[in-house]
């Protein structure tokens, strides 16, 4: 019986084996072949060359000291980091960067309210409203910053003219006064970020089933309660994405400061961000090692904040 069983048994061909006709059998569904690996390999090569290698090179440069033209590098260890952390302007730059980031993060909940109002059922002209909010994001930041610079002008600016009209005497010279300058730039950043946020949140709102709102209305839930218990929880993935992107953008503050504050401004030394310090060290002072050390500190801060946000999102983001 065992002999008959052995004769009658059929052995399953292995993937890629040759059949009776001499043709090679098709592989198993799990075998990917070489083409996907080749395409992914090209993509990863580009990522490695244009993203990972600059980070590694920056770390190496932060441990060196070079001349004004970038040649003759000398290994100095952590001397650039010691000089950076002993710089009295570092604390001010970190504070300005964090203040700007916190203020533009206010734009995320504000954008949730605006997007929810735009996507109200029965509202006409939704495309026009989206376009109005998105246009500032499409405009060149440097050009828009110049317009806001005129608005903030202490003598004839629109903002001070309005404040004088409502009874405020001697309004501040916004962009030339330390303390007020970073606040003025932060308000500009808040305004500029709302357009992108509204578009992302509008897309997220469209993905929420209308049946949930209809069922809530039947149960007697008001519009505010529907917003609190349906809209916000189901919109948390989009809110989390915008929180990450806004935080990273806040730590990269430079162009708005450069356009609105500029060099030679009496408020400029006290209004620098971390990226402004990097620019000052690497390009103005020709200290490539110090600039690289500043860039690594920015990278570390962004990484730490991002990791904290990813850890915290497990408690408030609802993926459905």
Domains annotated on the chain, with CATH: 90-315 (1.10.3720.10)
Mean pLDDT of 108-128: 90
State the Cα–Cα distance between residues 99 and 90, nearest whole angstrom.
Answer: 14
Query: Model confidence at 26, in pLDDT bands (50, 70, 90)?
Result: low
Give percent of the chain above pLDDT 70.
88
Give bridge partners of residue 24 from the DSSP assignment.
18
Structure tokens that stand for 191 in this block? 């305004």
> What pLDDT, in 10s, does the model give residues 213-226?
999 999 888 989 99
For residue 23, the model assigns a pLDDT of: 54
Confidence of residue 82 (pLDDT cuts 50, 70, 90): very high
Torsion angle of the four alpha carbons 179, 80, 102, 234, in this order, in degrees rounded to the nearest 10: 170
Mention every residue, 6+ apart, whose C-beta is less than 8 A from residue 248.
302, 306
pLDDT of residue 31: 59
What mean pLDDT do residues 30-34 have?
Answer: 65
Q: pLDDT tens digit string along 254-283?
A: 988 999 998 888 899 899 999 999 999 988
What is the predicted pLDDT for the residue at 2?
47
What are residue 5's DSSP bridge partners?
none
- pLDDT of residue 145 exceeding 70, the answer is yes
Q: What is the mean pLDDT of residues 73-91?
A: 92
Q: 111 burial class (0-12, 13-18, 19+ CB within 10 angstroms)?
A: buried
Say which residues have a Cβ less than 8 Å from residue 103's Cβ, sequence separation at least 6. 183, 186, 187, 189, 190
Q: Is the pLDDT of residue 14 over 70?
A: no
- Gap between the Cα atoms of 22 and 300, Å rounded: 59
The pLDDT of residue 223: 87
Q: For residues 1-20, give the mean pLDDT.
A: 48
Query: Under a CB-based contact definition with an 8 Å cutoff, are residues 185 and 103 in contact?
Result: no
Tell me: pLDDT of 68 over 80: no
Three-class SS of residue 251? helix
Residue 194 to residues 140, 171, 273, Cα–Cα distance (Å)? 15, 27, 22
What phi and psi values does residue 267 have, to the nearest 5 degrees?
Answer: -90, -10
What backbone phi and psi angles, to 5 degrees, belong to 271? -115, 10
Question: Can you give the pTM of this predicted structure?
Answer: 0.84
Q: Spell out the residues 6+ positions from residue 196 whose beta carbon is closer than 8 angstroms to its own.
A: 134, 137
pLDDT at 193 over 70: yes
pLDDT of residue 271: 92
**pLDDT band for position 121 (cuts 50, 70, 90):** confident
Q: 3 pLDDT band (50/70/90 cuts)?
A: very low
17 pLDDT higher than 70: no
CA dist., res. 231 & res. 240, Å (int): 14
Which has more confidence, 173 or 262? 173
- Say what the pLDDT of residue 252 is: 93
Minimum mean pLDDT range among 17-21, 175-179, 205-209: 17-21
> What percentage of the chain exceeds 90 in pLDDT?
58
pLDDT for 187 beyond 50:
yes
Query: Would the pLDDT of 195 be above 50?
Result: yes
Q: Which residues, other chains included, contact 301 with Cβ-Cβ below 8 Å and sequence gap of 6+?
A: 251, 274
Residue pLDDT, tens place only, 280-320: 998 888 889 999 999 999 999 999 999 999 999 988 988 86
State how far the Cα of 300 lies from the Cα of 253, in Å rounded to an integer: 16
């Amino acid at each position: 019986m065992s002999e008959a069983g052995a004769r009658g048994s059929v052995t399953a061909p292995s993937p890629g084996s040759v059949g009776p006709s001499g043709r090679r059998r098709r592989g198993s569904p799990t075998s990917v072949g070489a083409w996907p690996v080749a395409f992914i390999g090209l993509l990863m090569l580009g990522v490695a060359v244009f993203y990972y290698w600059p980070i590694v090179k920056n770390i190496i440069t932060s441990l060196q000291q070079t001349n004004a033209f970038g040649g003759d590098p000398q290994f100095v260890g952590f001397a650039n980091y010691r000089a950076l952390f002993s710089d009295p302007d570092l604390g001010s730059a970190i504070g300005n960067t964090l203040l700007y980031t916190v203020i533009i993060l206010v734009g995320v909940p504000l954008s949730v309210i605006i997007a929810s109002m735009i996507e109200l059922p029965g509202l006409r002209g939704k495309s026009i409203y989206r376009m109005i909010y998105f246009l500032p994001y499409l405009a060149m930041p440097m050009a828009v910053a110049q317009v806001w610079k005129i608005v903030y002008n202490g003598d004839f600016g629109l903002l001070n003219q309005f404040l004088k009209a409502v009874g405020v005497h001697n309004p501040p010279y916004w962009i030339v006064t330390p303390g007020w300058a970073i606040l003025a730039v932060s308000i500009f950043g808040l305004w500029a970020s709302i357009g992108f946020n509204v578009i992302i949140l509008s897309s997220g709102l469209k993905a929420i089933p209308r049946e949930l709102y209809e069922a809530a209305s039947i149960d007697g839930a008001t519009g505010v309660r529907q917003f609190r218990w349906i809209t916000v929880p189901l919109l948390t993935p989009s809110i989390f994405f915008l929180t990450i992107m806004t935080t990273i953008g806040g730590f990269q503050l430079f162009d708005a400061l450069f356009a609105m504050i500029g060099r030679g401004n009496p408020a400029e030394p006290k209004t620098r961000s971390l990226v402004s310090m990097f620019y000052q060290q690497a390009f103005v002072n020709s200290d490539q090692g110090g600039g690289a050390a500043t860039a690594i500190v920015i990278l570390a801060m962004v990484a730490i904040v991002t990791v904290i946000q990813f850890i915290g999102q497990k408690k408030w983001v609802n993926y459905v």
